[in-house]
């Protein structure tokens, strides 16, 4: 989310991004898990799936089948 806010500020007034701006934005994590690791914080990271339907946005908790460490989510809402 913070990456989108910074991008919005940097491109305000139709300003083009400089290579240094793009490098800065590329350094932002895409989710919280790398930030937790980088800052050496204690915590558990759980990734949820969200229905993309604008009328729904139901949130799905990850399921781990047959002892697999890989989460699975419903294909359809």
The stretch 27-35 carries a mean pLDDT of: 78
The reply to whether 38 and 53 lie within a common domain is no
Q: Does the pLDDT value for residue 35 go beyond 80? A: no
- CB contact set of 19 (below 8 Å; sequence gap of 6+): none
% of the chain at pLDDT higher than 90:
25
CA distance 49 to 59: 6
The reply to whether 22 and 6 lie within a common domain is yes
Q: Does the pLDDT value for residue 66 go beyond 80? A: yes
**Number of domains making up the chain:** 2
pLDDT classification of 1: cutoffs 50, 70, 90:
low
Q: Which domain holds residue 23?
A: 2-43
């Amino acid at each position: 989310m913070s990456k989108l806010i910074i991008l919005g500020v940097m491109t305000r007034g139709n300003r083009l991004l400089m290579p240094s701006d793009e490098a800065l934005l590329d350094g932002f994590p895409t989710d919280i898990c790398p930030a937790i690791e980088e800052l050496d914080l204690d915590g558990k990271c759980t990734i949820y799936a969200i229905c993309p339907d604008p009328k729904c946005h139901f949130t799905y908790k990850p399921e781990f089948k047959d002892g697999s460490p890989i989460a699975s989510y419903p294909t359809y809402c």
